Amino acid sequence: MDGVVVIDKPASWTSHDVVAKVRVITGVKKVGHTGTLDPFATGVLPLTMGKATRLSNYFISSDKVYRGVMRFGFATDTYDLEGVPQGEISNPALDKGRLEEILLRYQGKIHQTLPPYSAKKVHGKPMYAYARKGVTLEAATKEVTIKSLRLLDVQGSEAEFELACAAGAFARSLAHDIGKDYGCGAHLVRPQRTKSGEFPIEKAIPIMEGTNFYPREHFLENLILLRDLLGEIPSLAVSAGDKDKLTHGLDLNMLTSAWNAPEYRLLDENGDLVAIATRLQTFTSPMAQPAQWVRIHPRIIFI
């Protein structure tokens, strides 16, 4: 089983819980997730399996899309619904226009306040290790990129939103900081990741039906093969001879119209992914236009 299975993570499960269960059900030893979801969050959790674990860094660093609800009226120490309320609790009727104005400030590159219960390391330890011991640290911030933030609906003291962001952004920090700007505090409830990189929620499958776990065949049938991953990277077809060179880690010279791409997917005669290669050099020649010769080096090899 070499590929990606996209799980619709249920609430109350950790990402590690899902990995461990799928590993047991499928019998595949190498299984990894591509970006942690908080236990109370649901939605897209892509799992790399077998040789696809070598591609994990591509998926971890990909953009994410979330839908969720901000509950205004009080902040919590975890910035989400599982935390202890901080300060006075109120139940404000939200002003949609005012809230939309505040959301406009959270576009592009911004600095977020990191949740005390996060994996960000301070002096070699994750922040949650200090928080669990009752140690208060100075508030830390992090620059993140928000691609878009849309207000979808307002009902009483709750605001539904959609967030598109680069990897590393915290939806719960967004709720916390926006609540502070609004003046009454806020925290995140009902978060759902609807897209992670190339994997939308439509490709996500459940791991359980009722109280029963799906069998191994369920995951096999929904496995996205290596050849169907990373479609945004240009592909090059390699011959049997080239394939033999790849097994020895040798560089190749290839003719391609995508001569300025930084890397390539190398596919064999059957269309299977055999390597990811980095472009080392382009040999420009007027005789070869619009294609050009490139020298490439196999960086990840699957054979």
Given a contact cutoff of 8 angstroms between Cβ atoms, the answer to whether 98 and 182 are in contact is yes
- Give the other-Cβ count within 10 Å of 295's Cβ: 15
Structural tokens at position 172:
């719960």
Domain 235-301 sits in which CATH superfamily?
PUA domain (2.30.130.10)
C-beta pairs of 217-223 under 8 Å, 24+ apart in sequence: 219/1, 219/5, 219/22, 219/25, 219/26, 220/1, 220/26, 222/5, 222/6, 223/1, 223/3, 223/4, 223/5, 223/49
Q: What is the CATH number of domain 3-62+198-228?
A: 3.30.2350.10
Topology (CATH) of 64-196: Pseudouridine synthase (3.30.2350)
Where in the sequence numbering do the catalytic residues fall?
38
Domain residue limits, the chain: 3-62+198-228, 64-196, 235-301
Averaged pLDDT of the chain: 91
In the 8-state DSSP scheme, what is residue 165? E
Q: Quick: pLDDT tens for 120-177.
A: 666 566 656 655 666 565 667 889 999 999 999 999 999 999 999 999 899 999 999 9
Is-same-fold flag (3-62+198-228; 64-196)?
A: yes
Q: Which residues contact 165 (CB under 8 A, 6 or more apart)?
A: 63, 64, 65, 66, 144, 145, 146, 147
Q: Looking at residue 138, what is its pLDDT?
A: 62
Q: Quick: pLDDT tens for 237-263.
A: 999 999 999 999 999 999 999 989 999
pTM, to two decimals: 0.89
The confidence band for 36, taking pLDDT boundaries of 50, 70 and 90, is confident
Q: Looking at residue 298, what is its pLDDT?
A: 96
Q: Looking at residue 115, what is its pLDDT?
A: 78
pLDDT higher than 60, residue 236: yes
Mean of the pLDDT values across residues 43-57? Answer: 96
